[in-house]
Structure 1
Amino acid sequence: MNPRLYAYLSYADAPGALRWFSDLGFTIVSRQDGEAGQVVHSEVRLGDVVLMISSNDAAYSISPLIGRSTGRGLYLFVDDVDAYFDRALTAGAMSVFAPEATEWGTRRARVLDPEGNEWSFGTYEPGSAW
């Protein structure tokens, strides 16, 4: 079996996060709700990307934005950085930096989702040659 990596994220407002992911272009492929509107488990998909989303089970802290980064985040490889950046902002994200050209010939942008998680959109595909 080939190992695979799947990210999971929890949100104080998981139903709101699922709306944000839908507005970004993800499809909700499964959702299990619990008591009082809690999302026990859900999965969203965009192409080959699958994320697991749930409601927080504790009062977690999000790393603060220092300069242009929180020091951790998710990177979404896309063909149209500008379109994803615009969709993210329209859906309620905060701009960290607008789409820009990089010194190695790719394009990138960064936002914080509505709960402060860092998302980068870029045309560099990890594992490929620069």
Structure 2
Amino acid sequence: MTDTTSEISARVATPVWPCLTYRDAPAAIEFLCRAFGFVQRARYGEGDVVQHAELGWPGGGGIMLGSVREDSVHSELPTASGSVYVVVDNPDELYTRAERAGAIIMRGLRDEDYGSRGFTCRDPEGVIWSFGTYAGAPDGE
């Protein structure tokens, strides 16, 4: 048996990839790319069934998603549930892009007292997406 752990680890720049399930995964992929700027890197399945897709984020990392399927380990999760936060340098531009693409704005652009600027919206199936400039607390805090 070949150990591919080090090979996989060397290729992954961001070790956390949220995984989502959608009723209409092909439409979700199209929306997420158009509205937010994700880039489709991989898609497996046939027809309207997406067994696995990877959408890369231009700044690194990304998300994984697929269609609702009984044979999936995610079959017990509610479809299109969850909330994802993405760090961005350009929240104003992304807000305009998301709004034009039909994202449901839940909280408009605003400056937070902790120094972030961002907004929150929902995709057509209900996943909540927040985008902001807050990149997390510095190490050691």
Q: TM-score range by the shorter chain?
A: 0.7 to 0.9
Q: Would you say the 8 A contact 2:23–2:79 is kept in 1? A: no
CA distance in 1, matches of 2:16, 2:79: 23
Cα distance in 1 for partners of 2:134, 2:62 equals 19
- When normalised by structure 2's length, the TM-score is 0.75
Match for 1:109: what amino acid?
Answer: F
Amino acid at match of 2:24: D
Gaps of 5+ in 2: 1-5, 70-74
Please list every run of 5 or more consecutive structure 1 residues that lacks an aligned counterpart in the other structure: 64-71
For the 8 Å contact 1:88–1:113, the answer to whether it is kept is: no
1:126 maps to a residue whose letter is: G
| Secondary structure of residue in 1 paired with 2:51 | strand
Between the two proteins, what is the percent identity of the paired residues?
30
Partner of 1:17: 28
How far, CA to CA, are the matches of 2:31 and 2:80 in structure 1?
18
Partner of 2:101: 91
3-state SS of 1:83 partner: helix
Alignment partner of 1:103: what SS?
A: coil
Alignment of 1:50 with 2:68, yes or no, is no
The one-letter amino acid of 1:90's match is: R
Normalised by the size of structure 1, how large is the TM-score? 0.81
Q: Find out whether 1:110 has 2:120 as its counterpart.
A: yes
- Equivalenced residue count is 121
Give the counterpart letter for 1:42 in structure 2.
Answer: A
User: Aligned-residue CA RMSD in angstroms?
Assistant: 2.3
Q: Would the alpha carbon gap of residues 117 and 102 (structure 1) be closer, same or farther in structure 2, given more than 3 Å must change?
A: same
